[in-house]
Amino acid sequence: MDPLFGHGIDLTIVLIVIGKTLATFVVLLLGVLLLIWYERKLISDMQNRIGPNRAGPYGILQTLADGIKLFFKEDLLPEQADRRVFRLAPYLSAVPAFAAFAVIPLGGSVSIAGHRTFLQLADPPVGVLFLLAMSSIAVYGTMLAGWSSGSKYPLLGGVRASAQAISYEGAMSLAIAAAVLIAGTLSTHGIVADQAGKGYLRGLLPKWNLFTVGVVPVVIYVIAATAEINRPPFDLVEADSELVGGFHTEYSSVRFALFYLAEFMNTITVSAVAITLFFGGPNGPEILGLGGWSGFLWFLIKEILFLSVYVWIRATLPRFRYDQLMDLGWKRLIPVALYWLLLIAALRVGQDQGWNAALVIGIGIGAGALAWGLLGLAARTGAEQAAEDALGLGEVRA
Residues 337-353 pLDDT 10s:
998 998 888 888 887 78
Residue 344 lies in a domain: no
Cα(107)–Cα(198) distance, integer angstroms: 19
pTM of the model: 0.89
Say if 126 falls within a structural domain.
Answer: yes
Q: pLDDT tier at 11 (50, 70, 90 boundaries)?
A: confident
Contact between residue 269 and residue 32 where contact means Cβ atoms under 8 Å apart: no
Residue 249 lies in a domain: yes
Cα four-point dihedral sign 208, 214, 220, 226: positive
In this prediction, residue 71 carries a pLDDT of 87
Q: Is the pLDDT of residue 389 over 80?
A: no
Residue 8 placed within a domain? yes
Note the pLDDT of residue 263: 87
Nearest CA-CA partner of 251 in 97, 70, 36: 70
- What is the domain count for the chain? 1
Domain that holds residue 269: 3-321
330 in a domain, yes or no?
Answer: no
Tell me how far apart the alpha carbons of residues 306 and 270 are, in angstroms, rounded to a whole number.
Answer: 10
What pLDDT is recorded for position 272? 94
Residue 197 has what pLDDT?
79
Cα 341 to Cα 249: distance, rounded to the nearest angstrom: 39
Report the chain's mean pLDDT, rounded to a whole number: 86
pLDDT of residue 243: 54
pLDDT tens digits along 104-147: 998 888 888 888 888 888 888 999 999 999 988 888 888 899 89
Can you tell me the mean pLDDT for 205-230? 91
**Overall average pLDDT of the 174-188 stretch:** 92
Conformation bin of residue 138: beta by default, left when phi > 0, alpha when psi is -120 to 50: alpha
CA angle 87, 92, 98 (to 5 degrees): 130
CA-closest candidate to residue 185, choices 242, 238, 127, 140 = 127
- Label residue 218 by pLDDT band (50, 70, 90): very high
Q: Is residue 32 one of the residues assigned to a domain? A: yes
Choice among 68-82, 223-237, 261-275, 349-363 with the minimum mean pLDDT: 349-363
Least confident of 19-28, 209-218, 380-389: 380-389
d(CA 108, CA 117): 8
The answer as to whether 370 is a domain residue is no
Residue 117 forms beta bridges with which residues?
Answer: 110
Smallest CA-to-CA distance from 345 within 366, 364, 372 is with 364
The predicted-structure confidence for 228-274, as pLDDT tens digits, reads as follows: 888 888 888 776 556 567 788 888 888 888 988 888 999 999 999 99
Mean pLDDT of 331-339: 90
pLDDT bin (cut points 50, 70, 90) of residue 79 is: confident
* 1-25: average pLDDT: 85
Q: What is the pLDDT of residue 383?
A: 65
Burial of 111 (0-12, 13-18, 19+ CB in 10 A): exposed
For residue range 160-176, list pLDDT tens digits in order: 888 888 889 999 999 99
**pLDDT of res. 214:** 87
Residue 366 in domain: no
Q: How confident is the model at residue 226 (pLDDT cuts 50, 70, 90)?
A: very high
